[in-house]
């Protein structure tokens, strides 16, 4: 669909060049929303300082050279030099029609054509995914879908915790219970039980602890039988991860797994290279990097330990190997790390070291997409009554069951199969949307009642808007098929190519809302802010509600209005489905 601002940017570029010279054609016209017009260009204010002129005079000069014939009404200058822009209804209608022909992709923008590597989800092998993994998974997946939509190549990296000292005890416990045992298979359903049993034995049985330590040495040295056992553990967990991902309807697959073990062979190389470049040195027996600008509370240089005094490596070394790999091997133009906000300092240091080591080309900007906490009603991190992290599987099952109860209380009748499908779409959509609709670096309170509410900025409200439009279109098709309210001779799809007329204010407002879609998606891609797409979709649904209340669709007073409004409704549905699809949320056929 055409981008409103891209059209204006091109026109302003030409006007600025004609008015002030070629060096001005790439200046940002500073287009913003306005309460006095559809949009407002504020470029005259910063230019006035540079040109040593009055902002209103600069604005007047720009307007003299601004060719918006057929696009906008005559621009108006207001205040200190704002240029108010109001689109013509004819141009809006034309571009709505054009956009409906290209509904499956965004208008190409500055974000298109890049390779974007996204690190997200990152659960641990043989451990339960808990509510803390919800946001890293959901936000990361929405960003992956966004970048694919705008035309980027996305490389998903699920940096699972699949290496390290705990695997000694896990492998030994696996051997004790038997690889083919039901206890071993429980890892695919309830990993925590297996992990906790291994931990209890490690803490209470010295013989088991000794075997576990020896197994770690064998694992890290590449012992083939040990690696085979390790792969078995990872396989059980992979089954568990995939079940959670399927329930959440996220796009991660086995092909996206890039765990800590993947970088094991690079760790010594990373340390050696940092030493050779004079960036790492021994401190208290450990190999450390002291990146410039990072200090402790007393002002002393802050170290990042990359090799422990016992010769082992930590996750900092793995993260350095990963950022080097993503830059040099995967060829990333952007590298997003969708990881908890408390890791901010760690990633700042990792990125600073990678830059100092020369691993990051100038065009690559690794970014920490900081993820806030999920809170309970008490304002604290959401946990069980015993204080343990809440199991993600239980939380998702509860959301689906609550959605099913809501459906059963509604007037709609569903078969058992349809009820189960719609409950999953609504329940999971509600959880994901509640997460995505707040800024990713802030915390939010997990409240299923609010998430599943059919009113307000919730997924069910948006899903219901889509389902209602489908109902309207079905009624129109039925009327056309039976000769009901349809114009004689009208086919069921007659409105799909009908001219769009925007005679009413609500029709025009709805057209503007639809045409804002590409600009919002581009903004989400540029700034990693999926909550802005949620806000847009909520505003679009509200604009449709107003339109539907003020502009009769099925009982419009002329056939032309009816066809136009049906087509407008159809475009709203397509836009809602696209937007929610980018967020990883589906719209049921009916609710």
Angle at 48 between CA 42 and CA 49, to 5 degrees: 115
Multiple choice CATH, 4-87, 3.30.1300.10, 3.30.413.10, 3.30.1360.70, 1.10.10.410: 3.30.1360.70
For the record, the structure tokens of 268 come out as 């010594």
Q: What percent of the chain has pLDDT over 90?
A: 81
Task: Report the predicted TM-score, pTM, of the whole model to 2 decimal places.
Answer: 0.92
The CATH 3.30.1360.70 domain(s) of the chain lie at: 4-87
| CA 236 centroid distance within chain | 28
pLDDT (0 to 100) of residue 393 = 92
pLDDT (0 to 100) of residue 488 = 41
* Distance in angstroms (rounded) separating the CA atoms of residues 217 and 491: 74
Average pLDDT, the chain: 92
Is pLDDT above 70 for 480? no
| Whole-Å CA distances, 577 to 8, 94, 223 | 27, 21, 51
- For domain 459-582, give the CATH number: 1.10.730.10
pLDDT (0 to 100) of residue 388 = 67
- For domain 115-160+261-371, give the CATH number: 3.40.50.620
- pLDDT single digits (tens) 75-111: 999 999 999 999 999 999 999 988 766 555 555 455 6
Is pLDDT above 60 for 200? yes
* Distance in angstroms (rounded) separating the CA atoms of residues 135 and 139: 6
Nearest to 339 by CA among 485, 143, 476: 143
Is pLDDT above 60 for 481? no
What is the average per-residue pLDDT within 379-407?
85
Is pLDDT above 70 for 386? no
Which position has the higher pLDDT, 492 or 56? Answer: 56
What is the average per-residue pLDDT within 258-283?
96
What is the average per-residue pLDDT within 343-352?
97
Is pLDDT above 50 for 483? no
486 confidence band (pLDDT: 50, 70, 90): very low
- pLDDT single digits (tens) 108-160: 455 678 999 999 999 999 999 988 899 999 999 999 999 999 999 999 999 99
* Distance in angstroms (rounded) separating the CA atoms of residues 222 and 218: 6
* Distance in angstroms (rounded) separating the CA atoms of residues 282 and 305: 9
| Whole-Å CA distances, 240 to 142, 157, 233, 234 | 21, 18, 11, 10
* Distance in angstroms (rounded) separating the CA atoms of residues 464 and 186: 39
What are the residue ranges of helices labelled H in 259-343? 267-276, 315-328
* Distance in angstroms (rounded) separating the CA atoms of residues 208 and 201: 7
The CATH 3.40.50.620 domain(s) of the chain lie at: 115-160+261-371
Nearest to 191 by CA among 138, 235, 141, 223: 235
484 confidence band (pLDDT: 50, 70, 90): very low
Q: What percent of the chain has pLDDT over 70?
A: 94
* Distance in angstroms (rounded) separating the CA atoms of residues 21 and 486: 57
Is pLDDT above 60 for 370? yes
- pLDDT single digits (tens) 209-237: 999 999 999 998 899 999 999 999 999 99
Number of residues that make up the chain: 591
| Whole-Å CA distances, 160 to 112, 194, 307, 325, 537 | 29, 18, 21, 16, 33
Strand partners, 369: 338
Strands 280-283, 286-289: pairing is antiparallel
What is the average per-residue pLDDT within 170-196?
91
pLDDT (0 to 100) of residue 496 = 79
DSSP E strands: which ranges in 192-330? 280-283, 286-289, 304-307
* Distance in angstroms (rounded) separating the CA atoms of residues 82 and 59: 7
489 confidence band (pLDDT: 50, 70, 90): very low
What is the average per-residue pLDDT within 193-200?
93
568 confidence band (pLDDT: 50, 70, 90): very high
Is pLDDT above 50 for 482? no
pLDDT (0 to 100) of residue 387 = 62
**Lookup result for tokens 């339960």:** 128
The CATH 1.10.730.10 domain(s) of the chain lie at: 459-582
pLDDT (0 to 100) of residue 502 = 95
3-state secondary structure of 501: coil
- pLDDT single digits (tens) 304-314: 999 999 888 98
């Amino acid at each position: 669909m055409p981008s409103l601002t891209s059209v204006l940017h091109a026109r302003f570029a030409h006007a600025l060049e004609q008015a002030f010279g070629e060096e001005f054609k790439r200046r940002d016209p500073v287009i913003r929303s306005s309460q006095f017009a559809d949009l407002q260009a504020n470029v005259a204010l910063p230019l006035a300082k540079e040109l040593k002129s009055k902002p209103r005079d600069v604005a007047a000069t720009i307007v003299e050279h601004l060719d918006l014939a057929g696009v906008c009404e005559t621009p108006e200058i207001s205040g200190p030099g704002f240029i108010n822009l109001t689109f013509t209804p004819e141009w809006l209608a034309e571009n709505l029609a054009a956009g409906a022909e290209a509904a499956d992709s965004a208008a190409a923008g500055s974000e298109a054509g890049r390779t974007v590597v996204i690190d997200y989800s990152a659960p641990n092998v043989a451990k339960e995914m808990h509510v803390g993994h919800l946001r890293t998974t959901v936000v990361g997946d929405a960003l992956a879908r966004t970048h694919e939509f705008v035309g980027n190549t996305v490389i998903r990296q699920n940096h699972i915790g699949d290496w390290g000292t705990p695997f000694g005890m896990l492998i030994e416990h696996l051997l004790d219970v038997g690889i083919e045992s039901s206890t071993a298979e429980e890892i695919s359903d309830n990993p925590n039980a297996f992990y906790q049993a291994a931990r209890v034995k490690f803490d209470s049985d010295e013989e088991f602890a000794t075997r576990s330590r020896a197994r770690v040495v064998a694992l890290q040295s590449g012992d083939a039988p040990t690696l085979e056992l390790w792969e078995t553990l990872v396989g059980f967990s992979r089954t568990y991860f995939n079940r959670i991902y399927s329930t959440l309807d996220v796009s991660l697959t086995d092909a996206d797994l890039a765990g800590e073990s993947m970088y094991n062979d690079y760790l010594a190389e990373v340390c050696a290279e940092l030493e050779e470049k004079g960036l790492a040195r021994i401190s208290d027996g450990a190999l450390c990097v002291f990146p410039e600008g990072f200090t402790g509370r007393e002002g002393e240089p802050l170290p990042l330990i990359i090799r422990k005094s016992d010769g082992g490596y930590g996750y900092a070394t793995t993260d350095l190997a990963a950022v080097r790999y993503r830059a040099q091997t995967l060829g990333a133009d952007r590298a997003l790390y969708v990881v908890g906000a408390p890791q901010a300092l760690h990633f700042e240091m990792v990125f600073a070291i990678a830059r100092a080591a020369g691993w990051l080309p100038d065009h690559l900007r690794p970014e920490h997409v900081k993820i806030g906490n999920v809170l309970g009603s008490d304002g604290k991190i959401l946990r069980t009554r015993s204080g343990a992290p809440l199991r993600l599987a239980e939380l998702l099952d509860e959301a689906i069951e609550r959605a099913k109860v809501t459906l059963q209380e509604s007037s709609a009748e569903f078969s058992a199969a349809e009820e189960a499908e719609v409950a999953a779409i609504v329940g999971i959509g509600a959880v994901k949307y509640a997460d995505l609709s707040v800024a990713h670096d802030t915390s939010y309170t997990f409240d299923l009642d609010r998430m599943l509410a059919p009113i307000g900025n919730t997924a069910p409200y948006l899903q219901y808007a889509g389902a209602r439009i489908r109902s309207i279109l079905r009624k129109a098709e039925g009327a056309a098929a039976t000769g009901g309210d349809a114009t004689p001779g009208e086919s069921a799809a007659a409105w799909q190519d009908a001219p769009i007329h925007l005679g009413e204010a609500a029709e025009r407002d709805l057209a503007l809302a639809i045409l804002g879609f590409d600009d919002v998606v581009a903004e989400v891609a540029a700034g990693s802010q999926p909550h802005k797409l949620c806000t847009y979709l909520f505003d679009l649904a509200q604009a449709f509600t107003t339109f539907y209340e003020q502009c009769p669709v099925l009982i419009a007073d002329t056939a032309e209005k009816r066809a136009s409004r049906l087509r407008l409704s159809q475009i709203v549905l397509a836009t809602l489905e696209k937007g929610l699809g980018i967020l990883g949320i589906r719209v049921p056929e009916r609710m």
